[in-house]
Amino acid sequence: MTQPHGLGRHDSWEGVRAVVAGFGVSGFAAADNLTHLGASVIALDENAAGKEEQAELLGILGADIRLGEGATATLPDDVDLVVTSPGWRPSAPLLAQARDRGVPVWGEVELAWRLRDPDRPAPWLAVTGTNGKTTTVQMLDRILRAAGLRSAAAGNVGLPLVEAVMDPEPYDVLAVELSSFQLHYTHSLSAESSVVLNVAEDHLDWYETLEDYAADKGRIYERVQRACVYNVADPETERLVREADVVEGARAIGFTLGTPGVGMVGVVDDVLADRAFVEDRATTAAELCTVGDLASPAPHFVANALAAAALARAHGISQAAVRDGLRAFRPDGHRIQTVAVVGDVTWIDDSKATNPHAAQSSLQGYDPVVWVAGGLAKGARFDDLVAAVRSRLRGVVLIGRDRAVIAEALSRHAPDVPVIVADDGETGRSKGESPMESVVDAAVRLARPGDTVLLAPGCASMDMFTDYGARGDAFAAAVHRLEGRT
């Protein structure tokens, strides 16, 4: 067996026999770059749809691409390394066979870390959390660019990390989003600074316990060099910092929506303030920007901005660049996006709120609110969410496969809140008509002037839609048709 552990971008990988498990975006990037480095690559994926062109390209370069049913059932012989896509569970037969044989299993993130240019290794500012990762990373990227740095958002959003680190023109710094799945397969990552935004119940269809899920999130703090940023309102994130083995001299930096203590960033009279990266932080604070400078005053949005600012300030970014970057940032679609105001009712698309914690964060920004919820719950429960927001609820419209899970939580904790179960599109509607027509019709019956109708499903979308974007688009289209009727 050829040992890949000490190999980097300037080494020959000739003789290394690598299996890439999963041929999606990150899998293609891993297979492509390993092939260029001289490794003998076998890429495996059960799903061949839409991957023919990439397979043909890598086949020309010498890779062995095996797609289709049964392709991942058995680990090939004489394998030195498995690079797995993040969605693969450790219990997957191929990965279990690798462990039994003593074959190392890396994720694309681990491979990328090992392939950084040793002469210009762009530092990683890393972000994870149950919710807010993409927004925070994109905010951070805008701040870094405002400071004149060549930056990129990479990882779970934007560029695959292997592509980013192998770019012939090295980046100055990378804003890196990492999911718990990606972190599970990391072993040597040493980010310059990292943040866990929050830890809440999610992906319990993948993890056996919430503790296992949190432990993978906490891996982002291991070997941190400068700053471990944590959420003061979420004690679990601080616990993960305390348990991490960091580089000597690394600091713990809290972010809070309240007045920041020494060594924290927070909010003072609508000003985002820094008491962590100023010289006389015991008695003074630096103004970073105002809440009014941000695209939304929603509490979770402000918290994301504080986390991004803390990572940027740890990297040495000026107050002015933090302000300019945050002022320029606008969130992607389907994230607290105003669709329309119809009859003095505001309609908001937050389809990206795909778990209860994200939905709760969104709901806490509006009062009173008609909540549109449901989909695939992924094993999550909704009792804590409903108990926290019941006083804000004008009514609830439920949709999707696991709507009964939410309905049961509402009956226990908010029995007086009106609930309408929207038609699922299978009965009672014209062929081809979106089930969101039923949602909008139901919400109209519940809402009063001055209310907000909020699509924050708290669930994944794949029971009824291709993804959360398609769900949000369907909601927006139904609202716009309502506009046309009024």
- Quick: pLDDT tens for 319-357: 999 999 999 999 877 888 889 999 899 999 999 999 898
Which of 299, 328, 357 is where one domain is finished?
A: 328
- Residues 175 and 103 sit within 8 Å (Cβ to Cβ): no
Give domain status of residue 8, yes or no. Answer: no
Residue 316 has pLDDT above 60, yes or no: yes
Element of type H or E holding 93: helix 93-101
pLDDT > 80? residue 370: yes
> What is the token pair recorded at 97?
């066979």
* 4 assigned to some structural domain: no
90-104 pLDDT tens trace: 889 999 999 999 999
* Domain identity same for 278 and 348: no
Return the pLDDT at 84. 95
pLDDT above 70: residue 486: no
CATH of the domain at 422: 3.90.190.20
Has residue 7 been placed in a domain? no
Asked whether 13 and 7 are in contact (CB, 8 A), the reply is yes
Same-domain status, 213 and 90: no
| Claim to verify: residue 97 and residue 198 sit in the same structural domain | no
Say yes or no: 234 and 317 in one domain: yes
> What pLDDT, on the 0 to 100 scale, is given for residue 204?
63
Q: How far apart are CA 45 and CA 296, in angstroms?
A: 41
Decide if 253 contacts 228 (C-beta within 8 A). Answer: yes
- What SS3 class is residue 196? strand
145-194 confidence digits (pLDDT tens): 999 999 999 998 889 999 999 999 999 999 999 999 999 999 999 999 99
Confidence of residue 202 (pLDDT cuts 50, 70, 90): low
Note whether 298 and 367 are same-domain residues: no
User: Tell me, what's the pLDDT at 434?
Assistant: 74
pLDDT in the model for residue 203: 60
Are residues 392 and 354 part of one domain? Answer: yes
Mean pLDDT in residue range 122-127:
98
Treating both helix axes as pointing N-terminal to C-terminal, what angle do 319-328 and 133-146 enclose, rounded to 10 degrees? 120
Question: 292 and 177 in one domain?
Answer: yes
List, for residues 403-419, the tens digit of each pLDDT value: 999 999 999 999 999 99
Give pLDDT tens digits for 379-410: 889 999 999 999 999 999 999 999 999 999 99
Identify the band that residue 1 occupies on the pLDDT scale cut at 50, 70 and 90: low
Question: What whole-number percentage of the chain has pLDDT above 70?
Answer: 96
For residues 386 and 319, state if they share a domain. Answer: no
> Over 80: is that where the pLDDT of 108 sits?
yes
Residue 80 is part of a domain; what is its CATH number?
Answer: 3.40.50.720
Q: Are residues 93 and 121 in the same domain?
A: no
How many domains is the chain partitioned into structurally? 3
For the chain, report the end-to-end CA distance as a whole number of angstroms.
Answer: 71
Q: Is the dihedral of CA 28, 105, 21, 378 positive or negative?
A: negative
Looking at 369-455, list the stretches that DSSP marks H as alpha helix, in order from N- to C-terminal side.
383-389, 403-413, 436-446
pLDDT of residue 38: 94
Q: Give residue 311's domain range.
A: 112-328
Flag whether 10 is in a domain: no
pTM to 2 decimal places: 0.80
Verify that 31 and 70 share a domain, yes or no.
yes
Q: Is 70 exceeded by the pLDDT of residue 205? A: no
* Residue 360 covered by a domain: yes
- Is residue 316 one of the residues assigned to a domain? yes
Q: For residue 175, list its beta bridge partners.
A: 125, 153
Q: Is 220 helix (H, G, I), strand (E, B) or coil?
A: helix
Kindly state whether residue 29 falls inside one of the protein's structural domains: yes
